[in-house]
Amino acid sequence: MSYKLKLMWSTRIFCTIMSILLLLAYFLFPSFGSVAYAEGVLPLSVISQPKITRLSPPSGASGTQVTVIGSGFGADTTVSIGGTVVSATVKPNDRALVFTVPNLPVKSATIIVNNPGTIEASAVFQVLAPLVFNQATIPVVEAGQNLSLKLTATGGKSPYTFSSSGPLPAGIQISAAGSIQGTPTQSGVFIATLLVTDSNHLTAKSNVTFTITPGPVITTQALAPVIQGSNFSDTLSATGGSPPYSWTIAKGAIPGGLLLTSNGILEGRPGVAGVYNIDIKIIDSLGAFTTSSFSFTVKAPPPPPQSVVIVSRGGRFASYDSSTATPVQVPAKGHLPGITIGVAESAGSSGYFVVNSVGRITTFGGSFPLRSLPRKKLQGRIIALASDPSAPGYWLLSNKGVIYRGGKAKFYRTFLSNAPVRGKYKITETPLAHQHLVGIASAPHGGGYWAITANGWLWGFGSAKRLVPLYLRKAVKAYHSHVVSIVSAKVGMGFYVVLANGQVLSFGSAVNYGSPGIRLADAATIVIAPGGKGYWLLTKKGQLIPFGQASAVTFVGGDYLNNSVVSGVAMR
């Protein structure tokens, strides 16, 4: 073997041995070959092989930010996707690369990561269609009309999240699922920017226009008050929107007896007085609606027309009427014969009758004919009168304690009487004799009567026996006065006792509507108002003081009576 050949083989063997030693030193001693440099001198780059563990996300549309998670990434690492080199950022610890997907066809694309002088790493990324916000068409609606539509998007990676970049028209909301719903409250043209975001945080937007026209408006400002029980009709009005309208009660309740029709007519006869707060709703043909609040007042009816006729001991008359009443005719100036003791309404007619101290009956104003008491049957003098409310008739009380009846009135015994009933007029003597008797009153609806003395002794006859209060005398005594009259209540079983000082006592079902606030000295009786829900206190001077539903009345005819009034009657 020649010298040159030996030298070549020796050189190759040496180089091979040195290469093996260098490789062993590299793996066994990582710091082998490192060199310390002075400050400001860059170290040599150590090249390692890149490795891809996973992609986040594994799919997405153009513009998606992709994170390549793995190892071996450095400043010289290059990234490409689908053959297009992209700019990538290395995250801390060289374990992640971040890049943005460029515009690529929708298909699977290979991501290649490479370090110079090493074997490249690769992974497959699914390129999706670009995210597109499908243009939404917002229909024209009215203020008050319900709006509902669904937004859609394509491309990108679902699910999508919808939102707006600014405020929507008042009353309209957008949900994350893409529903636009609500009832606009204001009219006008509103421009809004809507956004859609996919699960990779890509965003697309769409500018939309909301056109809201004026909706219906209730133009009725208030509801007129109505009288309880009277006929009422009011047509509500509205403007705007798209007629025809439909009317309903949205809140509260209208008075019983009234009805709101669908075409806006409130009509009927309200049955209960009071103030009713209600919300009325109107809906037009497109479904737009609005409401208005109203306060509806139902007034109690005024007292019915009221007239009072009063008489004096001398048989003179005076008529008093409320402002709405038709004046009651009374006799012309003059007087009836004898001493008048009372006046009463004739049951079943519009008239009244007067009785004097000898039992003479004089009828007026359509009263049923009633016969006077025969003088020869009279014991003593008549001091009080009671009209039978169930039939044309009367009872008279004499100062001797004898009770007489006339017309169709029936006679009733007291539990204290054992005297026989005799004669055409069913005269009886009772223990009422020798008492200071002052009055007699019929039981409501007939069937009996009470008689009373000045100091409060009370006797009941017939059905009136059921109500004879034992404490009446004590009540009279407590007021330091004496009884001047007894008057039956209009309803139920009850009566009033009137004292000379103006105090009115009530018993049984009788409702006490009050007495004068000052002490009087000349009270004569009370006159029950029509309907029985009030009374006038009548003085001997002819003064009528109203209580309850008794109206204020004024003098309209007859004589002015001075200090001699004995009785009065209210006319229907």
Which CATH number does the domain housing residue 455 bear? 2.130.10.10
Does the pLDDT at position 326 exceed 80?
Answer: no
Q: Specify whether 69 is located in the same domain as 112.
A: yes
pLDDT above 70 (res 6): no
Q: Which tokens belong to 381? A: 């003098």
pLDDT at 495 over 90: yes
- When pLDDT is averaged across residues 317-342 and rounded to a whole number, the result is 67
| Dist CA 141 CA 485 (whole Å) | 78
Which pLDDT tens digit goes with each residue over 193-228? 999 999 999 999 999 999 998 889 999 999 999 999
Per-residue pLDDT at 479 exceeds 50: yes
Average pLDDT taken over every residue of the chain: 84
The reply to whether 326 and 450 lie within a common domain is: yes
Is residue 550 classed exposed, middle or buried when 0-12, 13-18 and 19+ CB atoms within 10 A define those classes? buried
Unique residue bearing structure tokens 């038709």: 326
Instruction: Kindly state whether residues 108 and 228 are assigned to the same domain.
Output: no
Please indicate, yes or no, if residue 467 is contained in any of the structural domains.
yes
- Cβ neighbour number for residue 114 with a 10 Å cutoff: 17
Distance of CA 186 to the CA centre of its chain: 27
pLDDT one-digit tens code per residue, 147-175:
999 999 999 999 999 999 989 999 999 99
CATH of the domain at 153: 2.60.40.10
Domain end: 213, 245, 267, which one? Answer: 213
Alpha-carbon distance of 482 to 489, in angstroms, equals 20
Is 488 a member of any domain?
yes
Q: Is residue 473 part of a domain?
A: yes
Same domain, 208 and 228: no
Query: Tell me, what's the pLDDT at 201?
Result: 93
> Are residues 180 and 60 part of one domain?
no
User: Does the residue 15 lie in any domain?
Assistant: no
AA letter at 293: S
In a domain, 29, yes or no: no
Residue 91 sits in the same domain as residue 124: yes
Amino acid 44: pLDDT:
39
Residues 234-279 have pLDDT tens digits of: 999 999 888 999 999 999 999 889 999 999 999 999 989 999 999 9
One domain, residues 141 and 82: no
DSSP-derived pairing of the beta strands 179-182 and 361-364 = unpaired
Separation of alpha carbons 208 and 190, rounded Å: 8
376: left (phi over 0), alpha (psi -120 to 50) or beta: alpha
Confirm if 337 and 314 have CB atoms less than 8 A apart.
no
Q: What is the separation of C-alpha 284 from the centre of its chain, rounded to a whole number of angstroms? A: 24
User: Which residue, 250, 273, 299, sits at the end of a domain?
Assistant: 299
In this prediction, residue 45 carries a pLDDT of: 45
Q: CA 557 from chain center: how many Å?
A: 50
- Measure CA 347 to chain center: 46
For residues 250 and 74, the model is more confident at 250
Residue 464 maps to a domain: yes
Rounded CA separation 108/119 (Å): 22
CA atoms within 13 A on the CB side of 343: 32
Among 213, 230, 263, residue at a domain's last position: 213
My answer on whether 394 and 367 are in the same domain is yes
Average pLDDT estimate for 291-317: 85
d(CA 138, CA 463): 83
How many domains, in total, are found in the chain?
4
Same domain, 95 and 152: no
CA–CA separation, 503 and 119 (whole Å): 124
Same domain, 394 and 474: yes
Contact status, residue 346 vs residue 353, Cβ threshold 8 Å = yes
Dihedral through CA 144, CA 145, CA 146, CA 147, nearest 10?
A: -110
Are 522 and 539 contacting, i.e. CB atoms less than 8 angstroms apart? Answer: yes
Question: Does 9 fall in a domain?
Answer: no
Confidence at residue 110, expressed as pLDDT on a 0 to 100 scale: 92
> In this structure, is residue 35 part of a structural domain?
no
- 293 compared with 286, residue with greater pLDDT: 293
The average pLDDT across 378-401 equals 88
Domain range for 536:
307-571
Which helix (H) or strand (E) segment is 28 a member of?
A: helix 3-28
57 cis-preceded (ω within 30 degrees of 0): yes
**Are residues 278 and 402 both part of a single domain?**
no
489 and 358 together in one domain: yes
Tokens of 530: 């029509």
Contacts of the segment 320-329: beta carbons below 8 A, 24+ positions apart: 320/544, 320/553, 320/554, 320/555, 320/556, 321/553, 321/554, 321/556, 322/551, 322/552, 322/553, 323/554, 325/553, 327/556, 327/557, 328/365, 328/571, 329/364, 329/365, 329/557
